[in-house]
Structure 1
Amino acid sequence: MSTWITTPIDGWLLRGAVALENTQHGVLPHRLPAWARAQSTDGQLAMAEAQPSGVRLVFRTSATAIELDVLPTKVLYAGAPTSPHGVYDLLVDGGLMAQAHATGGNVLTIDMAAGTTAFEPGLPTTVAFTALPPGEKEIEIWLPHRERTELVALRTDALIEPPAGAGKPVWLHHGSSISHGSNADSPTQIWPALAAQQGGVELINLGFGGGALLDPFTARTMRDLEADLISVKLGINVVNADLMRQRAFGPAVHGFLDTIREGHPTTPLLVISSIYCPIHENTPGPCVPEFVDGKVQFKATGDPDEPGKLTLSWIRDELAELTASRAKDDANLYYLDGRELYGEQEFAVRPLPDQLHPDNATHHAMAARFADLAFGDQGAFGGR
C-alpha cells in the first residue's frame, strides 16, 4: 500500500487562476478577483468565471500515483439531455497521458424557459491517476473547463515541488464561450489551450461563457495581471445579449483598451473580432435557445431594420477601423478578423452544431490558425 503525502493546495500549485476562495471544503479557483465579482450581479458571469477553464495544477514529482479530492458542480438544463461529466486532463512532461472525471458532487439545474435555478448539494469525490511513469517528471492536471471545481485535497505517493526552470511568456486572453471552451471535449482541447501549447506560452484564460461584454471590471482585472502578450476577442456576446447599440459600442471598446493600456502600455495587444456565425452576421440579438429533438439550437430574434442594433458584420468593420485609428499612436496594437480563424468556407465543412459554438475539431483548426497568424514570425506575438 502506498504511503500518501498530502500537500496543501495554494497559489504556488495553480496556474491560470486569478484568485482562490477558501470554502467549507477546500479552495475554489476563480478567474475574476473578489472585488470584480462584487461589481456584478449577473448569475451567468458568476457561474462562468468560477468554471476553471485553463486552470491547472502544475508540479514536479517522482510520484506514480496521484489522488485529487474535489467537489464538482454539475450543470443541468431542464428539458435537455444530461451533459457529460467534466474531464480532468493529466499531462506528463507536456504530453497528455490520462483522463478522468469526477462523479457525484453538487447539481445546479437551470430552466432557461422559466428563468429559474435549483441547487442540490453533494459530497466531495476523488479523481485518481495511477501507473504513472517512474522518475522525476512535470505533472499538469487541467481542471474541467465547464465544471466549477472546489479543490479539497491533493495526495501523492512521493513529494512534490515547484517546476524547475524559467517560466514561459504569459499570454492573457479574454473572450466569450468559444474561448471558454464551448463544445471542446476536454480542457486541453479548447482553442486557447491548444494555441498556447503551439505558441510556447503560459495561458491565463479569461474566456467567460456569455461574459465578453466589455465590463470595466474585466478590463481592470487584465490591467492588473502580469502578462507578456494580451488578446481580447470581442463581438458575439454584445450581439446575442442585445446589450448595447452602435452609439455605445465604440466608446466602450476604447474605454476597455484604455484601461488595459494603463497597466500594459507597450505589451503586444491583439483585438480579435468574432468568428463567422450566420445567425448573427446580419441579424441582431437577442439570441434565444430552442430544443430540437432534445438538442439545443440557438436562434437570432432581433429586427435587422431597427436602427442602431448590433450585428457581427457591423462590429467587425467598427473594430477594424477603431484599431487602425488607435494603432497610429500604439505600435503594439493589432487586429485580427475572426473569420480568418473560422469563416464561411470552414462553416461549409464543419458547421456550428448549435448555430453558435464550434465543435472539438473546429477548436483544433482555430488553434492552428491562431498559432500561425499570431505566434508566427509576422504575427502580433511573433516578435516576443
Structure 2
Amino acid sequence: MITTPLTAPFFRGVAEVEKTARGVRPHRLPAWVRAQFPDPQLLMTEAQPSGVRLVMTTAARTVELVTHPTRVAYRGTNRPRGSIDLVADGRLLASESLAGGDLIEVDLRTGRTEVRTGSAHTVAFRGLPAGEKLVEVWLPHNESVELAELRTDEPVRPVEAGGRVWLHHGSSISHGSNAAAPTGIWPVVAARGGGVELRNLGFGGSALVDQFTARVIRDSPADFLSVKLGINVVNLDAMRLRAFVPAVHGFLDTIRDGHPDTPLVLISPIFCGIHEDTPGPGAFDPSTLGTDQVTFTATGDSAEQRRGRLTLRIIRDALADLAERRAGDAHLHYLDGTTLYDEKDAAGLPLPDALHPGPAAHQLIGERFAEYAFAPEGPFAVR
C-alpha cells in the first residue's frame, strides 16, 4: 500500500488544516476566529467537518483512511456514530461508520462531563471500480476527526478546485443534526443536485448573527451565498426583536463589503412546532432524559412577545420585511424556510427530537432547495 501525506490541496470545504500530534485536523473556521471567541460550543462544531471532503484522482481499487475521531455523547442516550462516505465519479459507493476514538460524555442531569480516550480507527473502502476516477471521501458531519494516514493501492493526486462555489451558513440543521451520513445532510444534497462545490458554515447552536462569521463569508471566495438565520437566536433567547433586525442588516452589510454582486439567499427558519409561537430558551425535555430519544422543549412565555421576545413566526416576518427594505440589492433573495419544510411535512416526517429533521427530511429539504436555487430562473442559475 502507498501512504500519501494529507496536505491542504486534498481538502475541500475547509478554512485551514491544522497539524496535530496524530496527523491533521480540518477546521471550518480560521484560527483568528477560534482565538477571538473560543466558545466551547463553537469550537466543537467548527471542528466537526460537515461538508468537508478529500478530493483526488486515482486508479486505486482500495482506499484506507486512518482516523482518530472525537465524539460527544449524552449519558443514557444512544446517539448514532458518525460515518465516512466514498463517492466516485459522482456516485455514492460506500459508507462506513466510525469506531474507537475519544468520547466526551455529558450527563444531562448534572452537567458533568467525562472524557474517555480510545484508539484510532481505519476506514477501508475496497473493490472500487477499475481505472482512473475522481474520488471524494466525505468526512463525518457530527464527529471531529484527526486524519493520520491515507493508504491506497495506486497513487493519488489532489485535484485543483475549479467548479462554482456555494458558501452556506446556518444552524445545527445546516450542520446536519439527525442526518444519517455526511452526504445526507441537506446542504450536501442540494450542492450535489446543483453540481456545485459546497463550503458549509453550518454550526450547531452557533448561527447567532456573529460578526466574525460575516467577516469569514466576506473574505471567502464564492459564486453563490446563502445564510439561514433565526432558530438559534430563538432557542438561545439570544436577542430581542430590536437587536435582531439591525444585527442582520449589519451581517448582510459586512458580507456585501466583499461580495457586492454575488447572489445571496436569506433563508428564514423551517417549521419547528415548539418555537413557532413560544419563545426560548429551548431546553431538553426532562421527561425524556435517560431515554433513547431525548427531545427539546421551549420554556419561554408566549405573552412576552409583546416585549420583543422572538418566536419563529416573528423571525420570518422580520426577515421578509428586512429583505423588502433592501430591495435596492438586486442580488438579494428571500426564501421563507417553510417552503423547504412546513407543518404538513412535520406531520409526515416529524422532527425526531422536536428540533432537527431526520434523514428523510434532510433529503427533502436539500432537494427542494436545489429545485429553487438552481432552477433556470433561480438565484443560483448561471446566466
What TM-score range do you get, normalising by the shorter chain?
Answer: over 0.9
In the aligned structure 1, how far is the partner of 2:292 from the partner of 2:158? 46
Report what 1:139 is aligned to. Answer: 135
Q: Which letter maps to 2:28?
A: R
Report what 2:238 is aligned to. Answer: 243
2:319 matches 1:319: yes
In the aligned structure 2, how far is the partner of 1:243 from the partner of 1:56? 33
2:63 matches 1:66: yes
In the aligned structure 2, how far is the partner of 1:131 from the partner of 1:380? 40
2:9·2:159 contact (CA, 8 Å) conserved in 1? no
Report what 2:378 is aligned to. Answer: 379
Report what 1:347 is aligned to. Answer: 346
Look up the SS of the partner of 2:245 in the other structure.
Answer: helix
Look up the SS of the partner of 2:295 in the other structure.
Answer: strand
Quote how far apart the aligned CAs of 1:348 are: 1.9
Where do 1:87-98 residues align within 5 Å? 87-98=83-94
Report what 2:301 is aligned to. Answer: 303
Look up the SS of the partner of 2:261 in the other structure.
Answer: coil
Q: Which letter maps to 1:360?
A: P
Report what 2:229 is aligned to. Answer: 234
In the aligned structure 2, how far is the partner of 1:58 from the partner of 1:113? 42
In the aligned structure 2, how far is the partner of 1:296 from the partner of 1:80? 7
1:352-372 Cα offsets, whole Å, 9 max, x none, are 111111111111111111111
1:74-101 Cα offsets, whole Å, 9 max, x none, are 22112322x2221110011110111112
Q: Which letter maps to 2:10?
A: L
In the aligned structure 2, how far is the partner of 1:101 from the partner of 1:347? 28
Quick one: which of 282, 305, 323 aligns to 1:287?
282
2:169 matches 1:174: yes
In the aligned structure 1, how far is the partner of 2:297 from the partner of 2:97? 32
Q: Which letter maps to 1:63?
A: A
Look up the SS of the partner of 1:119 in the other structure.
Answer: strand
In the aligned structure 2, how far is the partner of 1:115 from the partner of 1:247? 33
2:145 matches 1:149: yes
RMSD: 1.3
2:47 matches 1:50: yes
Where do 1:97-246 residues align within 5 Å? 97-163=93-159, 167-246=162-241
Q: Which letter maps to 1:155?
A: R
Contiguous gaps of at least 5 residues in structure 2: none
In the aligned structure 1, how far is the partner of 2:353 from the partner of 2:91? 31
Quote how far apart the aligned CAs of 1:281 are: 0.7
Quote how far apart the aligned CAs of 1:239 are: 0.1
Quote how far apart the aligned CAs of 1:255 are: 1.0
Contiguous gaps of at least 5 residues in structure 1: none
Moved more, 113-122 or 258-267: 113-122
Quote how far apart the aligned CAs of 1:37 are: 1.0
Quote how far apart the aligned CAs of 1:377 are: 1.7
Q: Which letter maps to 1:232?
A: V
In the aligned structure 1, how far is the partner of 2:199 from the partner of 2:109? 33
In the aligned structure 2, how far is the partner of 1:284 from the partner of 1:223? 31
TM-score by length of 1: 0.96
Look up the SS of the partner of 2:232 in the other structure.
Answer: helix
In the aligned structure 1, how far is the partner of 2:28 from the partner of 2:59? 30
Q: Which letter maps to 2:219?
A: D
1:117-138 Cα offsets, whole Å, 9 max, x none, are 2222223221111111111011
Q: Percent identity?
A: 57
Quote how far apart the aligned CAs of 1:327 are: 2.4
Number of equivalences: 378
Q: 1:116 to 1:259 in 2, by over 3 A?
A: farther
Look up the SS of the partner of 2:326 in the other structure.
Answer: helix
Moved more, 112-121 or 187-196: 112-121
In the aligned structure 2, how far is the partner of 1:65 from the partner of 1:59? 13
Quote how far apart the aligned CAs of 1:102 are: 2.6
1:178-233 Cα offsets, whole Å, 9 max, x none, are 11111111000111001001111000000011111111111111111100000000
In the aligned structure 1, how far is the partner of 2:193 from the partner of 2:345? 21
Q: Which letter maps to 1:342?
A: Y
Quote how far apart the aligned CAs of 1:113 are: 3.4
2:14 matches 1:17: yes
Quote how far apart the aligned CAs of 1:383 are: 3.7
1:169·1:202 contact (CA, 8 Å) conserved in 2? yes
2:85·2:182 contact (CA, 8 Å) conserved in 1? yes
In the aligned structure 2, how far is the partner of 1:38 from the partner of 1:304? 37
Look up the SS of the partner of 2:177 in the other structure.
Answer: coil
TM-score by length of 2: 0.96
Quote how far apart the aligned CAs of 1:51 are: 0.4
Q: Which letter maps to 1:106?
A: D
